[in-house]
């Protein structure tokens, strides 16, 4: 049995998320198996979470800034175009 290949983008996104969830579960089980205790797992997970949240936040801020800059530039170009061709 194979998975259907002709799928909508939404289904593809859900499938990719499910695969990532399974990978995360395996990683979690591995962490609990290998670490000396739940405290170490929690501590490391907290540090990882903080680092990833900081990364995502910085990325979002950078994207937001770039988008605002682009929008401002586009508005300026549009305004200049209007001034040049008033008819």
By beta-carbon proximity to other proteins, the closer residue of 24 and 77 is 24
Alpha-carbon 62 to chain mean position: 13
Residues 6+ apart with CB under 8 A from 79: none
Q: Tell me if 61 contacts other proteins by CB under 8 A.
A: no
Kindly give the residue spans of alpha helices, DSSP state H, lying in the chain.
9-34, 38-84
Contact between 60 and other proteins by CB under 8 A: the answer reads: no
Work out which of 38, 80, 81, 85 binds other proteins, going by CB under 8 A: 38
φ, ψ at 50 (rounded to 5°) = -60, -45
Using the rule CB under 8 A, is 42 a contact of other proteins?
yes
Q: Which residues bind other proteins (CB under 8 A)?
A: 6-9, 12-13, 16-17, 20-21, 23-25, 27-28, 31-32, 35-46, 48-49, 52, 55-56
């Amino acid at each position: 049995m194979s998975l259907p290949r002709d799928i909508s983008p939404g289904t593809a996104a859900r499938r990719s998320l499910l695969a990532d969830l399974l990978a995360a579960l395996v990683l979690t089980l591995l962490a609990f198996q290998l670490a000396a205790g739940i405290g170490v797992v929690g501590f490391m997970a907290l540090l990882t979470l903080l680092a990833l949240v900081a990364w995502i936040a910085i990325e979002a801020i950078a994207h937001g800034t770039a988008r605002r800059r682009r929008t401002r530039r586009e508005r300026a170009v549009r305004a200049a175009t209007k001034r040049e061709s008033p008819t």
